[in-house]
Amino acid sequence: MAGQPTIYSGQGFSLMRDKKRFVLPNALRSSVRESSGDHAVICLSKHPEWKCLTGFGLSRVNEFEAQLDTEEERADRAGRAYNRDKRAMQLYSFQQVPFDGSGRFVMPDALCSLANIGDELFFQGSGRFITIWNPEELYKLEDEGGLEAIIANCRSLADTERAKAKKK
């Protein structure tokens, strides 16, 4: 539906493959492609709080100014300082990463270091964006509560993918 934001739902897991490539899960790939105007590109950025990345299609960039306005209004109402320039730099600091027809892409080194990414990725559709995790970083949040189902899905998908890799 035109004008409506893309909603990302679903999970996936990828082991690093040849040529340092990961695979964007099929459950999320078509939404990313559609949101990027049928271009095979995912925008990746550091999550503002967690040690993970966010991913989204190009159309989300059109929402950034409205998001900045909303955040600034909320801060003003709450009497909190708001640095719009700093927040804009955070939002617009994403990298456009191409993927092929099978979803394979190379994770940029700078993003790997920001999210402590090694040779495994867990993808979690989170509504307006996708969170992309080193599973070990996600597991560190287990004691915070509220993420039990997501962590259980990650562990299950990880076990399945590792078992498949061992058979090869």
CA distance 143 to 128: 25
User: Is 19 domain-assigned?
Assistant: yes
The pLDDT confidence band at residue 152, using thresholds 50, 70 and 90, is very high
Domain presence at residue 4 = no
- Residue among 106, 116, 139, 132 at smallest CA distance from 45: 132
In a domain, 70, yes or no: no
- Is the residue at 80 inside a domain? no
How does pLDDT run across 99-145, given as a tens digit for each residue? Answer: 999 999 999 999 999 999 999 999 999 999 999 999 999 999 999 88
**Residue 35 belongs to domain with CATH number:** 3.40.1550.20
In a domain, 5, yes or no: no
Total domain count, the chain: 1
Q: Is residue 76 part of a domain?
A: no
Residue 71 lies in a domain: no
Is 101 within a domain? yes
B/e letters for 117-149, b = 16+ CB within 10 Å, e = fewer, are beebbbbbbbeebbbbbbbebbeebeeeeebee
**Which range of residues forms the domain containing residue 38?**
11-63+90-167
Tell me: the pLDDT tens digits for 55-103?
999 999 999 999 999 999 999 999 999 999 999 999 999 999 999 999 9
Q: What is the pLDDT, as a whole number, of residue 1?
A: 39
pLDDT tens digits for range 5-23? 899 999 999 999 999 999 9
Query: Looking up tokens 């950025």, which residue turns up?
Result: 45
The stretch 28-46 carries a mean pLDDT of 96
How many whole angstroms separate alpha carbon 88 and alpha carbon 95?
A: 14
Q: How many other CB atoms are there within 10 angstroms of residue 70's CB atom?
A: 11
What is the rounded CA–CA span in Å between residue 86 and residue 72? Answer: 12
